[in-house]
Amino acid sequence: MKFSEIKAHCEAMSALSREVLDDFLLYYVAIKENLGREADALEKKYKRVVRTLPESYLKSLKAEYIAHRIFRKGGYIAKYLNRPEIRNLPGDQYSFLEVQSMKPWRYSFAEIVHKPADEFFEMQDAMTGERYLLYSPGMKATEAEFHPTMWFILISFNGQCWQTYGLIIPFRDFTADDIIFFASELNSFAVNEDSVIKEVEHNPYPFFMLLSAAVSPAIVARGHQILHLQATDVVGQLPAEKLQRQFSSERKKELFQFTHVTMGEFPHYAIAYYNEQNGDLHRTAMTEAGFAELTKAFQGAGCDLSEEADVAVSLAMLSTAETILNKKITLNPYAELFRKNKGGGDSEEIEKLNHFMELAASCYNNKKDPDISKIAAEAGIDKETAWRVWEQVIGKLDPPKKK
């Protein structure tokens, strides 16, 4: 079938969706099942974030939540499809609902793989790896404005391809690892792609709140993206003598801190912590290059380690998760033990850089022209570093004028 024919079918399905879903079924089921109150209660849990979002977005998210509750796997559509009020709908409208009941609606964190035709996208789900054909005029407009790397969308199948419904959320720099991290902070058992899917299908509202930082840029320093990478392994006895050339070390009771001699400073901060009592080795770094070199050094000393981090989270996601969940997230408790002896140092520099980016990105996301010099002073970093980092982050976007 030609894309022009598929598009005509999609447009017909969109028209039916407006007639039967937006104008009738959402209200009908919401009243019967108290879904409006349910959505309001979930939204209220995140009032700190909600008050920063436009009212029009909140209304769209509420409608989307109700639609998902109706058409998701095990949703209310099965309960209501044979009710007289539904059976008496015009034939094309009832047929539309029958089609929607056959394949559950679902949420997808997805990336664009290919654009086979105007307003059509070949998508790949970042959690399942599944590829699917998507029709979405809204995504076309959003992509042109934000150039996102990943999307958070509710999708429905129309018999020929998938379509978006509700608010299209673009993530400019969030990754699948960021989403997994966020889900794990919501539920400590959500540690992989499958559990993320279960979390979002059960309650998408926490993930809706990521909209507040959807276009937050990645933080880049000296050509490296700054993020938290960590992994913990049991290595037993550590051959410390084999590590002397590549690390400086410090000890506090049973805990050792190993700082990589070339990658232990800004921006990489490749540092490991070894617990002599239980044999745990905790690797940390703030760039992928730093984590790779740290891992390579310990592998060379005879440690059997995976090259992949257990946790890889951007500074933007860490800050966003703390705001949404209203809690302080401590990724590396070991560092605090040694930081007290050093009086801050490197970690303070990263914290200042992160604070600078939060302030600057907040201005930019709210369509304001950031005063980089003023924000740098507020965050406690020098003006030249601030401008260098900001220009790397913004990339192709028009930077603010220097003040």
pLDDT, mean of residues 207-219: 89
Q: Are 349 and 266 in contact (CB under 8 A)?
A: yes
pLDDT, mean of residues 7-35: 97
Q: How far is CA 97 from the centre of its chain?
A: 32
Q: Are 191 and 262 found together in one domain?
A: no
At 116, is the pLDDT very low, low, confident or very high (cuts 50, 70, 90)? Answer: very high
CA dist 160 and 331 (Å) reads: 45
CA dist 36 and 42 (Å) reads: 10
Q: Are 177 and 266 found together in one domain?
A: no
At 399, is the pLDDT very low, low, confident or very high (cuts 50, 70, 90)? Answer: very low
Q: Are 67 and 93 found together in one domain?
A: yes
Structural domain total, the chain: 3
Q: Given a cut of 90, is residue 338 above it in pLDDT?
A: no
Q: Are 69 and 190 found together in one domain?
A: yes
pLDDT digits (tens, 9 = 90+) for 247-288: 999 999 999 999 999 999 988 999 999 999 999 999 999 999
pLDDT, mean of residues 57-74: 98
The token duo for 156 is: 């429905």
pLDDT digits (tens, 9 = 90+) for 129-177: 999 999 999 999 899 888 899 999 999 999 999 999 999 999 998 999 9
Here the CATH number for the domain that contains residue 234 is 3.30.160
CA dist 21 and 44 (Å) reads: 25
> Could you tell me if residue 96 is inside a domain?
yes
The token duo for 316 is: 């933007």
pLDDT, mean of residues 334-362: 67
How far is the first Cα of the chain from the last one, in angstroms, to the nearest whole number? 56
Q: Are 200 and 231 found together in one domain?
A: no
**For all residues of the chain together, what is the average pLDDT?**
90
CA neighbor of 294 nearest in space, from 323, 333, 337, 260: 260
Q: Are 44 and 68 found together in one domain?
A: yes
CA dist 160 and 200 (Å) reads: 25
CA neighbor of 338 nearest in space, from 256, 245, 228: 256
Per-residue pLDDT, 346: 53
Per-residue pLDDT, 361: 67
Q: Given a cut of 50, is residue 341 above it in pLDDT?
A: no
Boundaries of domain holding 284: 226-318
The beta strands (E) that lie in 287-369 are given as 311-314
In sequence order, what are the residues at sequence separation of 6 or more whose Cβ sits closer than 8 angstroms to the Cβ of residue 22? 63
pLDDT, mean of residues 94-101: 96
At 398, is the pLDDT very low, low, confident or very high (cuts 50, 70, 90)? Answer: very low
The token duo for 203 is: 């309650």
CA neighbor of 103 nearest in space, from 132, 82, 139, 64: 132
Q: pTM to 2 decimals?
A: 0.86
